[in-house]
Structure 1
Amino acid sequence: MKTLILCGGQGTRMREETEYRPKPLVEVGGRPILWHIMKIYSHFGFNDFVLCLGYRGNMIKEYFLQYEAMNNDFTIALGQPQQIAFHGAHHEQGLQVTLADTGLHTMTGGRVQKAARYVDDDTFLLTYGDGVADVDVRKLVDFHHAHGRLATLTAMRPTSRFGMLELDSDGTVQRLAEKPRTEGWASAGFFVLNRRVFDYLDGPQCVFEQKPLERLASEQQLVAYQHEGFFFAMDTFREYQYLNELWDSGRSPWKVWD
């Protein structure tokens, strides 16, 4: 089963990091956030990836072309033919990565549509290249198959951007909760989709989160998998710093792998 990862956006809200590299290559704990996302899926047995590239996609291609050399010690025998022997424990076994150029200005639905030729199963997975979670992807897929409809999204309880205050009648602060969870649900991505969803996409400017999902919902073909655990999307420089703080402190809930 293929896992599509949207890697083409320009990351305009964190230009400090994305001016010279795509957001999926911004590092958390010394590794691209893309690597963390792939490790989550791989932990649950989903090892076949399609990366939908756009902005500075050549850098993501170079990352994977150089992956073995950059993550292992190696011995090289110069000359023709060149021979390289890698040493070390960082070799990723069993992962297959397709790098698909889906256009610089293509929107999310258009990227998925352009990557359709690489999907050869009835079901595929889709996520974003900037969000991590402790979602049990195997249970998510089982949930999708159990309800039998075309699309599943993972829903989480959003966190307020602001600290919330409890005040008494004269304005004295009784309690301060920093960034509490709010009421209701929001989409965290981590989709499971039937390939018939491709029929809901209509060209490069199609925004997946708008008409396709709205139509699926109106036809009662969209079901939410309610995730009460951790989810965090790295959309700003401050959020980049927060994820790195979690990793450095050893409190990284999305690290489901050993």
Structure 2
Amino acid sequence: MKVVLFCGGQGLRMRDAENVPKPMVHLGARPLLWHVMKYYAHYGHKDFILCLGHKAEAIKSYFLNYNECLSNDFVLSAGARNVELVGSDIHDWRITFADTGLHTNIGQRLKAVEKYLQGETEFLANYTDGLSDLSLPAQLEHFHRNGKIASFLCVRPNLSYHLVTLPAGESLVQDIHPIDNGEVRVNGGFFIFRREIFEYLREGDELVEAPFQRLIRERQLLGYSHDGYWACMDTFKDKQQLERHLSSGAAPWEVWKRPALH
């Protein structure tokens, strides 16, 4: 199944994203984009379509000059003249680099790559700014079982704010609790679409506004709730938190490092 990755944003709230697209901000030895792609590749989905925009050349250059040694064991011999890789990351990945415009919104970026999805009955998509330990096979099974056009991940927000219940026109608080402990759910940015999604996407539409409202009216939009790990990298503080997970040696989103189930 093909995977559409939205990589064209500017990451205006990320201090590290001043000179590169936000998906190219590094977590350890690899950029955020690589972590997202590695997640999908782990589940067997290795045909990627990158929707490029802001500083597209940085993404192209990264993969054109990809160094497998940065995230794989290798053997060096003959006075550093021979390098023998013990493992490999991207040897079986297929990546389409698509220019989808500098200031294009997400919906129109998706529309711009429709031609690369010819013949596909369904496909995956991702905002490429969040990481999760979501069981993708479970979300796919839920999607197929319900037979709808679209599904998106619903998660509790990883915010340090408190949600306040304050009736309009009143000042007496009825309730206050951490926003991530309540019933509030946000769009986690992991999507599954049938090809029919393009019938709901009009000229100029943002993805989750008018098109999703059309899907809702026709009872064609699924929300897949996930209470496991999910984190979005919107700010430098978010990046620091993700780096702490990575340096611990047990980053929750690194599902490819888990023991295989038999």
TM-score by length of 1: 0.84
Q: In the aligned structure 2, how far is the partner of 1:52 from the partner of 1:162?
A: 32
Q: 1:198 to 1:180 in 2, by over 3 A?
A: closer
Q: Does the 8 Å contact 2:158/2:231 carry over to 1?
A: no
Deviation, structure 1 residue 159? 3.3
Identify which range, 45-54 or 178-187, moves more after superposition: 178-187
Count residues with an aligned counterpart.
237
Residues 1:89 and 2:112 aligned together = no
- 2:131–2:230 CA contact under 8 A, matched in 1: yes
Cα shift readout 1:200-255 (whole Å, capped 9, x = no counterpart): 2223x321011111111121100111111111110011101110111112241111
1:45 lines up with 2:48 in the alignment: no
Question: How far did residue 184 of structure 1 move?
Answer: 2.7
**Partner AA of 1:100 in structure 2:** A
CA RMSD of the aligned region, Å? Answer: 2.3
Question: In the alignment, which residue of structure 2 is the partner of 1:78?
Answer: none
- Tell me what 1:238 maps to: 237
What displacement does 1:160 show?
3.5
Q: Indicate the SS of the match to 2:189.
A: coil
Deviations 1:97-127 (A, max 9, x none): 1111100011000000001111131000011
Aligned mates of 1:68, 1:160 — CA distance in 2? 35
TM-score normalized by the length of structure 2? 0.83
Extract unaligned runs of 5+ from structure 2.
Answer: 164-176, 258-262
8 A Cα contact 2:129 2:234, kept in partner: yes
Q: Give the fraction of aligned pairs with identical amino acids, expressed as a percent.
A: 38
Q: How does 1:79-158 map to 2 (within 5 A)?
A: 87-92=84-89, 93-119=91-117, 120-158=119-157
**Structure 1 unmatched runs, 5+:** 76-83, 165-176
Map 1:186-205 to 2 at 5 A. Answer: 186-203=186-203, 205=204
**Amino acid across the alignment from 2:208:** E
Equivalent pair of 1:68/1:86 in contact (CA under 8 Å): no
Secondary structure class of the residue paired with 1:223: strand
Change (3 A) 1:201 1:252: same
Match of 2:217 in 1: 218
